[in-house]
Amino acid sequence: MQSNQWITGKTPAETGWYAVSYTWAVEEGIFPGASYWDGSVWNPDYPIGAYYGTFQDKASAEEWARDHDMEA
């Protein structure tokens, strides 16, 4: 796994589950979650601001994202 920092401004080099930080609108804030990178798009198609991973599964990615919530 990569360093213990969120990655911004890039897309992942490999497919898999990632912890993600996303936002629907500026006034709504940033939310932790998980998304699958298939090599070309995120699924689900959240507006991803940052990511970290990869993880074995969605649950592990979500747990890491909650534990490292940018707004916590």
23: in domain: yes
CA nearest 52: which of 40, 62, 38? 62
7: in domain: no
Of 1-15, 23-37, 41-55, which one has max mean pLDDT?
A: 41-55
Q: How confident is the model at residue 1 (pLDDT cuts 50, 70, 90)?
A: very low
The pLDDT value given to residue 69: 86
Containing domain of residue 35, as a range? 16-67
Q: How many CB atoms lie within 10 A of CB 51?
A: 24
Bigger pLDDT: 18 vs 25: 18
Number of domains in the chain: 1
10: in domain: no
